[in-house]
Structure 1
Amino acid sequence: MKQLLVKDIQKLLQGELLNGSVDWHVRHAIYYERHDLTHSNTLIFVNKNDSINWQAINNKGPSLVISDKPINELKNALGNTTVIRVRSIMQAYWTFIDYYRGLFQIPVVALTGTCGKTTTKEMIKYIVSKEWPVQASVSSKNEPRQSLPYLTGIEKDTKAAVFELGLGNTGNIKHQCMIYKPTIGIITNIGVHHLDGCKNLEGYIKAKSEIVEGLSNEGTLIINADDENTKKIPLHSFKGKVITFGVQGQADFKAANIQFTNNGMKFQLHVSNKTYSVSVPGFGEHQVYNALAAMAAVKEMGLTIEKAIAHLRSFKQMARHLEFSSGIEGSTIIDDTWTNNPTSVEAALKVLDTIGKDKKVILLLGDINRLGNFEKKYHREIGTMVAKRNIHMLITIGTKAEEIANQAIKERTKAEVHIFKDVTGVLDVLKSKIDSDTIVLIKGPMSSKSMIEFANSLKK
């Protein structure tokens, strides 16, 4: 965080000093009871209903408490704590957010999408970090509550920022855009997820489209030209710049001649009447889409396409994202336990269509969560996808995933089908089937520690 003088913060928020000194600097900012207090010189927003541990705050001092609690409560502060009382904590919070974001005239990228957003964000971060100091959200920790520490992670020397937007409910993306004020927005794709919070697919698409509202009319929107649900987002009122990426039809950043290589994907990039050869680690057509979105973003941020391609070549594929490993008995294990939704399952199956040719293919599929009232529908659709393919064995793990197995059986899959409540006993079934010609795909939710541990147990 760029250090700020407490005196200036008091003036900005028009608050009343109740305790301590204003002649020192804050270097961190948190919202009490939402974030851990781990540093000294921290600005702490305290809600009226929060119960304050003054001793803990004082121990990390000097600390600055901003609150709209009654004066008699705030006067319990100890000597190492400065207290400024404001009329409204929410007004003070947003005033501070707007002020701090306004200190930086840098490209800020915000990403959303059903699949690929973490990988695309990591690609952008990796490419840009080779040239500039960059601030970014950590891994897939994209909850709205993380937005304040992520924003204040922008420092004096930061030249760019890239943030992944989490979506659990309607309004989440709008909230995060109000904090980050992105100059570039990306929608990787819109499949099916979080229907419990958004009620149905239409609500989910509308929630994703909040990123368009979050961009100013000077902003740039980067979207997947091939994605049918993304096409449903109304853009007629958006006056900013729109950049498309895709494989199938017309797109500003288009990939052609896509090939699988030993380490990932290779393709020809067509952009601005020029053609480039691109290599990216990680298997699957979806990885090509991720790379296209990343290159479009870094070009818009001010880097050349040549530099983007050069840096992308050494990008390290993320763990548990269709991660290939040598497994027991000489088999190939594909660990895809990072996330689980219908779109990512389909992407994984498409990779198997190529990688699994002339191989014995075994699928381990776990529950898909957060599908609301459409849970059975989408599990059955996956069962249909499996039944159409040359799969040798299907193993489902979890009560929800049973629908996958039952639907595959109903559609007369050629696969040998096994249904398990949990991973207990799965290895016994696999042992007699696995050999050097076997590919095992393990696809489950990141919340399932047992499936993650089981995937690890199969690797050499």
Structure 2
Amino acid sequence: MEMTFKEMLNAIDGEVIVQKEEINFNKLCIDTRKIEKNNVFLAIKGANFNGNDFAVKALENGASVVIIDEVKFELKEVQNKGTIIKVKDTREALLNLAKFYREKLGLKVVGVTGSTGKTSTKDLIAALLSDKYKVFKTKGNFNNDIGLPLMILELTSEFDVAVLEMGMSSLGEIELLASVARPDVGVITNIGLSHIENLKTQENILKAKMEIATFFNGENTLIVNGEDKLLQNISSNVFKVKKIGYNHEYDVYASNIILREEETEFLAHAFGEEAVFNLPMAGKHNVLNTMLAIEVAECLNVSFKQMVKGLENLEATSMRLQVIKKEGLTIINDCYNASPDSMRSSLDVLSAYKNCRKIAILGDMYELGDESERAHFEVGRYAKDKVDILIVIGRYIKNFKDGFDNDNIIMYNTKEECIKELKNIVKLDDVVLIKASRGVKLEDVVKNLEEM
């Protein structure tokens, strides 16, 4: 972190209760197991732990500064070991520190949200910008009120642009993230059913995603997927709105789309020019994600030529349509998360494979509330002409089966039951898709397939 101790103290409105004469610090950490010399340890409270319990441990492990909101030690335990700051609330302090730091660095920020495709779009934006700019992007799914500020605090003045993912499960959450990150450009990938259990309607999901533009003015741009029925009519008199899609009415549009087993090619049209993009990613949905990235790059004055060159630097986040080749077996690992829209997209990718037997192993989709049974039925029905064998796991296997309406389905209550029988089902030259919500942890199935 490029800030002084005084700046940090003022940003978090903290009180020094123990001060070591010499204060040297580098980066912030919230896990004592990962503490490095001269880190700042911030004590976060979780559902099953209280970081304040580990203040002394943090100092012993090398932290030079500890930020707490409860004193759970004797002062004599920490004398001369480091500096301790007490704040009203450490989670609030984390947000305030990140907000100050983002303002101090003054770099460009791109915020990305949406029901599905956030991470792939983030990866594509970072790649398309990379030939012109030094780009930072959110790691993994650090996209909530703890993860996003931690990402901001990893930034340095070396970076020109930060591409930050913004997740939510309720109203008000993205507004909070936007108040900290203050994106110059916002991106909404789509409005699906993810989190409808909490938000009840897709209109409320749209309202929650639109919070990314809460602090926008005439200098800001919101980029949306015009092919999404809830986003296609978005407009504003306050900030600029750009839309992407499949025909010429959009600011960026695509033609000549060629879908291959593990890559996608299309012709992009924008700003009176056109260029061919060859994606090392499968699926038509990634054409939409790339067009969102193209519009972001255009907003930041990146040329088509620079975008195409930057695409060579694409680093995709793991467990998202990750293709693994192993001794005649092709595994499509897409088990990071799942929703009805992303399930359909992944099934489309599987169906593009030719001259092989196609197997989909699908698990439960979470946070769908009253839509759960219907959503699993619809995914089962969508899979009917996309796969040769459907294997389903979990609570909604009957709904998958009713939608699939085909004898080529195998049902398991647990992933452990499935793993026991996989070697009797999967054969040489099969292509196997694995997908479910994160909590199902179907990466265990992927691991088993890799070891077969």
> Aligning the two structures, in what range does the TM-score lie when normalised by the shorter sequence?
0.7 to 0.9
- Distance (Å, rounded) in 1 between the aligned partners of 2:5 and 2:313: 44
1:445 has 2:442 as partner: no
Partner residue, 1:109: 110
Partner residue, 1:355: 353
SS of the residue aligned with 1:396? strand
SS of the residue aligned with 1:108? strand
One-letter amino acid of the counterpart of residue 402, structure 2: N
Deviates more, 1:364-373 or 1:266-275: 364-373
Judging changes above 3 Å, is the alpha-carbon distance between structure 1 residues 391 and 11 closer, same or farther for their aligned structure 2 residues?
closer
- Distance (Å, rounded) in 1 between the aligned partners of 2:21 and 2:251: 52
1:373 has 2:391 as partner: no
Q: CA deviation at 1:376?
A: 0.7
Judging changes above 3 Å, is the alpha-carbon distance between structure 1 residues 314 and 109 closer, same or farther for their aligned structure 2 residues?
closer
SS of the residue aligned with 1:209? helix
Partner residue, 2:259: 260
Question: 1:52-80 CA deviation, whole Å, 9 max, x = no partner?
Answer: 44422432456334556689977874223
Judging changes above 3 Å, is the alpha-carbon distance between structure 1 residues 22 and 248 closer, same or farther for their aligned structure 2 residues?
farther
One-letter amino acid of the counterpart of residue 345, structure 2: A
Judging changes above 3 Å, is the alpha-carbon distance between structure 1 residues 85 and 289 closer, same or farther for their aligned structure 2 residues?
same
Correspondence list, 1:307-386, <5 A = 307-313=306-312, 315=314, 317-326=316-325, 330=328, 332-356=330-354, 359-386=356-383
Q: CA deviation at 1:398?
A: 1.4
SS of the residue aligned with 2:236? coil
1:128 has 2:129 as partner: yes
Correspondence list, 1:231-270, <5 A = 231=232, 235-236=235-236, 239-248=238-247, 250-261=249-260, 263-270=262-269
SS of the residue aligned with 1:275? strand
Partner residue, 1:178: 179
One-letter amino acid of the counterpart of residue 209, structure 2: K
Deviates more, 1:74-83 or 1:330-339: 74-83
- Distance (Å, rounded) in 1 between the aligned partners of 2:41 and 2:177: 19
SS of the residue aligned with 2:269? strand
TM-score by length of 1: 0.84
1:293 has 2:300 as partner: no
- 1:337–1:445 contact (8 Å) kept in structure 2: yes
One-letter amino acid of the counterpart of residue 269, structure 1: A
Q: CA deviation at 1:279?
A: 0.8
1:198 has 2:199 as partner: yes
Partner residue, 1:230: 231
- 2:268–2:277 contact (8 Å) kept in structure 1: yes
SS of the residue aligned with 2:105? coil
- 1:368–1:401 contact (8 Å) kept in structure 2: no
Q: CA deviation at 1:148?
A: 2.3
- Distance (Å, rounded) in 1 between the aligned partners of 2:427 and 2:92: 61
SS of the residue aligned with 1:102? helix
Among residues 385, 395, 402, which one is paired with 1:406 in the alignment?
402
- Distance (Å, rounded) in 2 between the aligned partners of 1:445 and 1:58: 38
Percent identity over the alignment is: 24
- Distance (Å, rounded) in 2 between the aligned partners of 1:302 and 1:135: 17
Deviates more, 1:115-124 or 1:391-400: 391-400
- Distance (Å, rounded) in 2 between the aligned partners of 1:429 and 1:248: 44
Q: CA deviation at 1:157?
A: 1.7
Judging changes above 3 Å, is the alpha-carbon distance between structure 1 residues 120 and 224 closer, same or farther for their aligned structure 2 residues?
same
Among residues 447, 455, 459, which one is paired with 2:446 in the alignment?
455
Q: CA deviation at 1:214?
A: 4.5
One-letter amino acid of the counterpart of residue 397, structure 1: I
Judging changes above 3 Å, is the alpha-carbon distance between structure 1 residues 335 and 67 closer, same or farther for their aligned structure 2 residues?
closer
Question: 1:23-74 CA deviation, whole Å, 9 max, x = no partner?
Answer: 63432235x6x88661343445568997444422432456334556689977
SS of the residue aligned with 1:243? strand
Question: 1:117-151 CA deviation, whole Å, 9 max, x = no partner?
Answer: 11111122234344443322112332321122211
1:397 has 2:389 as partner: no
Deviates more, 1:123-132 or 1:360-369: 123-132
Q: CA deviation at 1:264?
A: 0.7
- 2:360–2:432 contact (8 Å) kept in structure 1: yes
SS of the residue aligned with 1:153? coil
TM-score by length of 2: 0.85
- 1:184–1:221 contact (8 Å) kept in structure 2: yes
One-letter amino acid of the counterpart of residue 371, structure 1: L
- 1:333–1:440 contact (8 Å) kept in structure 2: yes
One-letter amino acid of the counterpart of residue 413, structure 2: K
SS of the residue aligned with 1:447? helix
Judging changes above 3 Å, is the alpha-carbon distance between structure 1 residues 14 and 74 closer, same or farther for their aligned structure 2 residues?
farther
Judging changes above 3 Å, is the alpha-carbon distance between structure 1 residues 261 and 390 closer, same or farther for their aligned structure 2 residues?
closer
